[in-house]
């Protein structure tokens, strides 16, 4: 018997609700991973293999979950990761998510390929947002995006480095997202017509459904097929560390590199002068078969954690997972699927509820591990495999 989920409590609950509310091709777009989804599954499973160490009779009065990420004060060390097409999952979805993040006191990152333009998101909030960027072949477009982000008050740039080509995502293939023609159109039309609430609330009332940050740059920015063709021609597989230096010279704020999964690359990022890096495998959406971020994080922290801020994303599904990431050495985490599931399921209120629950889960984990501040969470708060 299917649960009613009148009161969703977990990211998984919101996932179930999102699946019910979204057309199938949109749900699979946010939910799926590359090829056989091995890395997608490992990302989640490997956090569960990190056991916490419970302590008792420790003075844990006044536990504080607050921290700073990229110099920005946060009520808990979590930022909302950039998610493309978020405005297709709920009406003006990026605006709703940014408001929820502000209400809970965490950063929101706007994707270059979001639906809502930067100025709309910034106008709706009173705290600075982070902006995510891909390196595009036309460097003039890159410079325009950088200038707009800075003028809008963004001071943290998240530069994604693991997307020289788009990963093979079989769910999107099966749903016709990577194909044109009548058959693909019929598959998507059936999905839309099967979800009249989404059709009315998002497709009709959520207009314009265009790539807001690229409307002036991309011919046919309102047409998904035309936009995909533009992306295929503009995502630049020639990007090297020299381009990071070029970007560093043109961005006066904080620069975070997202997509680091190797110690050598982390060390190169430090040499390139970035202020932080995000250990990430793109949520398992790029190269299937690579190791999980939970498995890769400790070595990267050991190599560069004393020199730069190390964040992590991928598979984090609860406040307890946030604790695990901090205990493994991360300064904080970014989350993608959990917030987009909550957004699709219940809009701004859903994202706010999810983050508030995670803050409570993190507080409880800290309390029962005997630690009062985020900065004090250490590897010693985890069990070792040979612990008595």
List the catalytic residues: 282
CA dist., res. 23 & res. 131, Å (int): 28
* Residues forming a β-bridge with 80: 108, 335
Nearest to 23 by CA among 179, 174, 190: 190
Residue at token pair 């921290």: 67
Q: Return the SS3 of 72.
A: strand
CA nearest to 255, candidates 264, 211, 263, 246: 246
Which spans in the chain are helix H? 11-21, 24-31, 38-48, 93-104, 118-124, 139-151, 170-174, 181-193, 196-198, 224-234, 241-250, 263-271, 293-304, 319-327, 337-369
Collapsed DSSP state (helix, strand, coil) of residue 161 = coil
Residue 291's closest CA among 318, 261, 265?
Answer: 261
Q: Report the candidate in 79, 106, 88, 98 with the shortest Cα–Cα distance to residue 30.
A: 88
Position of tokens 């740039």? 157
**Total length of the chain:** 388
Instruction: Say whether the peptide bond before residue 308 is cis (omega within 30 degrees of 0).
Output: no
Contact 82, 91 (CB under 8 A): no
Calpha distance 131→146 (Å, rounded): 9
**Residue 383 CB neighbours (<10 A):** 13
Cα separation values, 211 from 34, 40, 124, 139, 217, Å: 23, 26, 18, 19, 10
Q: Please name every residue paired with 20 in a beta bridge, in sequence order, or none if there are none.
A: none
**Placement of tokens 């704020």 in the chain:** 253
């Amino acid at each position: 018997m299917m649960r009613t989920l009148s009161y969703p409590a977990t990211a998984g609950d919101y996932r179930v609700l999102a699946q019910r509310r979204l057309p199938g091709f949109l749900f699979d777009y946010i939910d799926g991973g590359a090829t056989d989804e091995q890395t997608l599954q490992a990302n989640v499973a490997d956090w569960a293999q990190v056991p916490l160490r419970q302590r008792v009779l420790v003075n844990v009065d006044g536990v504080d979950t607050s921290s700073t990420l990229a110099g920005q004060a946060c009520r808990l060390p979590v930022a909302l990761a950039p998610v493309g097409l978020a405005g297709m999952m709920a009406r003006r979805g990026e605006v709703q998510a940014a408001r929820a993040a502000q209400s809970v006191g965490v950063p929101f990152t706007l994707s270059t390929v979001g639906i809502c333009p930067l100025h709309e998101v910034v106008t709706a909030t009173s705290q600075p947002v982070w902006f995510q960027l891909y390196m595009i072949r036309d460097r003039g477009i890159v410079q325009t995006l950088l200038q707009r982000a800075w003028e809008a008050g963004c001071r943290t740039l998240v530069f994604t480095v693991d997307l020289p080509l788009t990963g093979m995502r079989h769910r999107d293939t099966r749903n016709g997202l990577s194909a044109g023609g009548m058959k693909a159109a019929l598959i998507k039309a059936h999905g839309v017509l099967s979800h009249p609430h989404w059709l009315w609330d998002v497709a009709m009332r959520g207009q314009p459904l265009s790539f807001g940050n690229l409307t002036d740059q991309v011919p046919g920015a309102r047409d998904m097929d035309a936009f995909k063709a533009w992306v295929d021609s503009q995502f630049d597989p020639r990007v090297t560390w020299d381009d990071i230096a070029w970007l560093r010279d043109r961005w006066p704020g904080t620069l975070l590199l997202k997509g680091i999964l190797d110690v050598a690359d982390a060390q190169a990022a430090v040499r390139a002068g970035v202020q932080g890096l995000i250990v990430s495998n793109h949520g398992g959406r790029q190269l299937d078969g690579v190791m999980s971020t939970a498995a890769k994080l400790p070595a990267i922290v050991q190599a560069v954690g004393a020199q730069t801020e190390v964040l992590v994303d991928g598979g984090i599904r609860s406040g307890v997972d946030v604790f695990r990431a901090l205990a493994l050495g991360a300064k904080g985490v970014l989350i993608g699927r959990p917030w987009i599931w909550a957004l699709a399921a219940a809009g701004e209120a859903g994202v706010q509820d999810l983050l508030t629950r995670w803050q409570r889960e993190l507080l409880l984990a800290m309390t029962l591990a005997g630690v009062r501040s985020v900065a004090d969470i250490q590897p010693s708060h985890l069990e070792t495999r040979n612990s008595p």
